[in-house]
Each structure stands twice: as C-alpha cells, then as structure tokens.
Amino acid sequence: MVIGILALQGAVSEHVNMLKRCNVQTKLINKPSDLHGIKGIVIPGGESTTIHKLLVREKLFEPLKKLVQHNFPVFGTCAGLVLLAQSDALNGLDGEVKRNGFGRQRESFESLIEVADFTKPFPGVFIRAPYLEKVGTDVKTLATLADGRIVAAKQNNVLVTAFHPELTKDIRFHKLFVKQIVSNSNIVSK
Amino acid sequence: MAKTGTTLVKRGMAQMQKGGVIMDVVNVEQAKIAEEAGAVAVMALERVPSDIRAAGGVARMSDPAMVEAIMDAVTIPVMAKARIGHIAEARILETIGVDYIDESEVLTPADDNYHIDKNKYQVPFVCGCRDLGEALRRINEGAAMLRTKGEPGTGNIVEAVRHMEKVNEQIAQVQAASDNQLVMLARNLQAPYELVKQVHDDGKLPVVNFAAGGVSTPADAALMMNLGADGIFVGSGIFHSENPAKFAKAIVTATAHPTDYSLIADVSKNLGSAMKGIEISTLSDEQKMANRGI
C-alpha cells in the first residue's frame, strides 16, 4: 500500500514520518503523474492559499478534485481541512469552514481533546487553525471543543482535523486513516 | 486547558511555512501582490534591506500603523522586524498581533550584549545565523525559527550559501563526534551542551532553517533549497526587480519544485532584470549586516 503526501508546501516530512511509523510506504506528490498508483493521499498543514495556488499552477487541482469527488481516501490537516471543506476548492466535505478561526499566531494553542472512538484524549496542536462552523448530515463529527466548534470530522473516505497530529508523537489519526479508510477502499489512483 | 505560546506552537508555526517563500513588502499593494503570487507569509517593513543600505542612518521597527494595515489586507501570516535586543519594539509588535517577529540584523542593533529573551513572548521569533554556534545560541534564547543571515540587500547569494553550508558542515561534525568531543565542540561553538547533544542525537536542528540574505532569482531559491534550506526569505529581490508579480510567482514555483529544472527554466524565461547586486568584497566589515549580533 502506497499513500501519497501532497508535497507542494507545508509540513510534508512530518506526515511522511507518521505514516512510516504506521508501516506504510509513502510517495511525495508534486505533479499529476505522481498520483498514479497511490491508494490514499494526505494534504498536510501549511498555508492553504499557497497550496491552493500551487495546485492550480501545477495542474494538480482538477485531477485531485476528481479523486476526492469519487470517494478516494483523503486525510487533510489544518490547511488540508480548509481545502477539503471549501466548496470552491476540493469540496470533499460538506461543511462551512472558518479559516484562522481562533485568531492570529498569538492565539495558537495546545489542548487535550476528546475524540470519538479514542479511549484517551488526543494532544491537539492548533496553529492559526480553522474550524468547522457546521457540517452536513452525512458528516460524522469526531471531535468538538468545549464551545462546540468542530475540529475533527469524517465523511465517507474524507478525514479532516483542524489541528496537527503530524506535530505530535501520537499516530492514532494516521492509523485510523490507514486502517479504517485506506485499507477498506479498493480505489487505486490511475 | 488550552496553552498558548508553547514551544510546540511556536516551532510548529515555522514548520507550516516549509517549502514556502516569505516576502518583504513595504505597503498593502505589495502585500497583496505577494499573497497572490503564493507567498506563505509577508514581512512588513518600511524599507527593504537594499534601501536601508542606501539610506544609511539608524534603521528601526516600522510604523505599527503600516504593519496593521498589511495585517488587515492579507489572510496569510504577517511578520515584522525588531532591532536586536530591543525588547520594547518586540513587545509592541507582539501587542499589535504580528504572527512572527524577526529579531533582525537588517535593523540597527539596540543592544551590543544581549539578544531578546524570546522565551518570554507569546509570539514566535526568527533569528539569523551564520554558523551552528549562532544558531544554537539563538535557539537557547527562544528562537523558534532560523534563517541564514546572508548579506541582506546585496542581491548576492554567496554569503547565504556560505552560512547554510557552514551550519550543515558543523551539524555533520557534531553528529559524528564522541561524547568527549561533544563537550569540547560545545565550548568551541559557544553553545549550550544540551543543544549540541540534541543536534548530535537528531542529526538536525530542532527548528526549521530558511535561507535569507541575497536571494534574488528563482535559480537562487532553488540553489538554497538544494543546499537544505527549509524555505526562502526574499527581501529586496522581488520588488526591486523589473516585474515584481512575475518574479514573485517564479520564485514561489522554484522553491516548491527545486529540482524540476525544466519548470524552473520555464518560469525564469523573460523575467526582466533582477535587482542590481553588490559584490561582497566591495563592502567593508562595518557595512556587513551579518556581522551584527553574533
């Protein structure tokens, strides 16, 4: 099984390390032909506006959007969540996203969060993070903050977190993506 | 309980900038051009380094109103510079909410002896370094991100190359050293033993290291990425070129794809003239900004 990591900008090597710890092969995705043969893709944290522009510039936007629309396994963290939830971006998750939802870098924070199906809390690292204001009925909310803001969710084969599991040592979200989503999908990108 | 200003969120913020270009801008219009070109952040300042060099005199923190105007105009992070050791300038920038403070040798240093104790701030800092000793001293003071000093405002990449290679060479040396040698190396580097030991164990710096100081073309950006830079700062290079929007976009592309030479060739075509540069040997030691705050 090979999982791709969108490598245009952002915390790419961090996701590579997490997936290696899940015993998965990884492949860096820089151009459309790199998509061939992967079974899932991670969209890392970074600057969502930059990644969006580079996707369009490198002609990766349309092929990636097509994959997402056809239920291809995707895991997006922070900027990845923004791109997946924005209807004018990849439109892979039915929800309304608030970019920089907690404020500027000064307001960036760490907090332990309760996640559905995890027995112990997860170390959430929120950096100029977005959140989901509301989600559609097909979306399963995995984690909310005390004030109700949605910070992790899943819709079919799309998994998103507003925080950065790739900045921690905790591989539970990556495992969830590999074991429950990618392993149960039979789509291989052509 | 939510904790702000932790080492993890400060360093993590810089990790999110990897593979990206941070551009110096002097007004809202330039900030918008930078954002449109795909910059991961902008550095708001009143004059770019080459103009600071030309103007002479004392270079200080920019007008907070100008920095705020840029913060309001773009959604990407906004950085701003404080003078080395100037804790009041740094606190002002923190108060208005800039996302990153550059404690920068481009401005005239305010303190000959001490850098800012950056551990005390909610907002993260980036600092320049020419070698591993400087890098680790800045990290010890709380810098969450590093950049080469290069030689700002010259449009000449040679000093940035020298600084990046020096840091990498010294990391390799530390990595290969025995426990006894580490003590001696820490002394020679004038850096805390604990940080030297950490570099020895990890084989890399504990924070990201960008290239800065002399990057002026897409090829310069690709060169620095190939030497191991995590990303690129461009100061005077973009808005002193003939066609800033095109230049900015080309440097972003080259930074994202530093080994795709046919792509870099394409974006380098018909860019117009780059900024006029300065040969380093024509600068006296006093004129070299990299010698400030070591």
| pLDDT of B1 over the 80 cut | no
Q: What is the predicted ipTM?
A: 0.97
Residue A145 lies in a domain: yes
Nearest beta carbon to residue B77 from set A8, A126, A128: A128
Mean pLDDT on B230-234: 97
**For residue B274, is pLDDT > 90?**
no
How far from A72 is each of A30, A156, A174, B102, B256, CA to CA, in Å?
18, 9, 16, 41, 25
pLDDT at B50: 87
Is B13's CB within 8 Å of A100's CB? no
A12 has a chain B CB within 8 A of its CB: yes
pLDDT for residue A150: 98
Please tell me which residue of chain B has the smallest CA distance to A8.
B256
Residue carrying the six token digits 């040997």 = B281
Q: Please report, for the domain that includes residue A152, its CATH number.
A: 3.40.50.880
Specify the amino acid at residue B54: A
Backbone angles phi, psi at A45, to 5 degrees: -70, 150
CA gap B210, B126 in Å, rounded: 10
The answer to whether residue A172 sits within a structural domain is yes
Domain containing A83 equals 2-182
The DSSP 8-state label assigned to residue B290 in this structure reads G
pLDDT level of residue B194 (50, 70, 90 thresholds)? very high
Hey, are the CB atoms on A10 and B256 less than 8 Å from each other?
no
Secondary structure of residue B89 in the 3-state scheme: helix
- Whether residue B99 lies within 8 A of chain A, CB to CB, comes out as yes
Mutation target to probe the A interface, by most A beta carbons within 10 A, among B3, B6, B7, B9 is: B9
Confidence of residue B209 (pLDDT cuts 50, 70, 90): very high
The amino acid present at A21, given as its one-letter code, is: R
The answer, yes or no, to whether residue B271 has pLDDT greater than 80, is yes
* Helix B218-226 and helix B244-256, axial crossing angle in degrees, nearest 10: 20
Which of A14, A30, A108 has the CB atom closest to B4's CB atom?
Answer: A108
Count other C-beta atoms under 10 Å from residue B264's C-beta: 21
A70 domain-assigned: yes
Low-confidence winner among A32-41, A160-169, A180-189, B215-224 (lowest mean pLDDT): A180-189
In a domain, A187, yes or no: no
pLDDT score, position B272: 84
User: What ranges in A35-78 are assigned the alpha helix state H?
Assistant: 48-57, 61-69
CA distances to A136, A163, A164, B5, B75 from A149, rounded to whole Å, are 14, 12, 16, 21, 21
For A9, the token pair is: 């900008």
Contacts of B2 in chain A (CB under 8 A): 109-111
Asked if A163 is an interface residue toward chain B (Cβ–Cβ < 8 A), one would say no
- Render pLDDT for B51-78 as a digit per residue (tens, 0 to 9): 888 888 899 999 999 999 999 999 999 9
Distance CA(A130)–CA(A82), nearest Å, equals: 7
Res B241: pLDDT: 87
A46 touches chain B (CB under 8 A): yes
Which residues of A participate in catalysis according to the annotation? Answer: 78, 164, 166
Residues 6+ away with beta carbon under 8 Å from A23: none
Phi (first) and psi of residue A99, to 5 degrees: -70, 150
Residue A38, pLDDT score: 97
Residue B203, pLDDT score: 96
Query: Is some CB atom of chain A closer than 8 A to the CB atom of B262?
Result: no
Measured at the alpha carbon of residue B139, what is the angle toward residues B121 and A100, in degrees to the nearest 5?
50
pLDDT beyond 90 at B153: no
pLDDT tens digit sequence for A132-183: 999 999 999 999 999 999 999 999 999 999 999 999 999 999 999 999 999 9
- Partner B, chain A 58-97, Cβ-Cβ below 8 Å: 58, 78-79
On whether A107 is known to bind a ligand per the annotation, the reply is no
**What gap in Å lies between CA B3 and CA B10, rounded to an integer?**
12
Predicted pLDDT of residue B288: 87
d(CA A45, CA B40): 12
The two beta strands, B21-25 and B232-234, are: parallel
What is the mean predicted confidence (pLDDT) over A79-89?
A: 97
The one-letter amino acid code at B100 reads: Y
Average pLDDT rounded to a whole number, residues B111-133? 97
Structure tokens belonging to residue B191: 């850096």
Distances (CA, A) of B174 to B131, B170, B196: 13, 6, 7
Q: What value does the mean pLDDT of chain B take?
A: 95
Q: How many domains does chain A have?
A: 1
Which comes out higher in pLDDT, residue B274 or A171? A171
Residues B224, B251: Cα–Cα separation, whole Å: 12
The pLDDT of residue A162:
98
Answer whether A46 sits within 8 Å of B19, measured CB to CB: yes
Nearest by CB: B76 against A31, A49, A167: A49
Residue B146 and residue B212 in contact, taking contact as beta carbons nearer than 8 Å: no
Distance CA B256, CA B198 (A): 29
Residue A164 touches partner B, C-beta closer than 8 Å = yes
Task: Report if residue A188 sits inside a domain.
Answer: no
Q: Report the chain B residue with the minimal C-alpha distance to residue A29.
A: B257
The string of DSSP letters for B124-177 reads -EEEEESSHHHHHHHHHHT-SEEEE---TTS--THHHHHHHHHHHHHHHHHHH-
State residue A52's pLDDT score: 98
Measured from the Cβ of residue A13, the count of other Cβ atoms closer than 10 Å reads 17
What tens digit of pLDDT does each residue of A94-146 get?
A: 999 999 999 999 999 999 999 998 999 999 999 999 999 999 999 999 999 99
pLDDT (tens digit per residue) in A3-30: 999 999 999 999 999 999 999 999 999 9
> Residue A6: which region, alpha, beta or left (left: phi > 0; alpha: psi -120 to 50)?
beta
Q: For residue A58, list chain B residues with Cβ-Cβ distance below 8 A.
A: 256-257
Q: For A76-101, what is the mean pLDDT? A: 97
- What does the alpha-carbon distance between residue A27 and residue A41 come to, in Å, rounded to a whole number? 9
**Tens digit of each residue's pLDDT (9 = 90 or more) over B85-117:** 999 999 999 999 999 999 999 999 999 999 999
Q: Are B148 and B160 in contact (CB under 8 A)?
A: yes
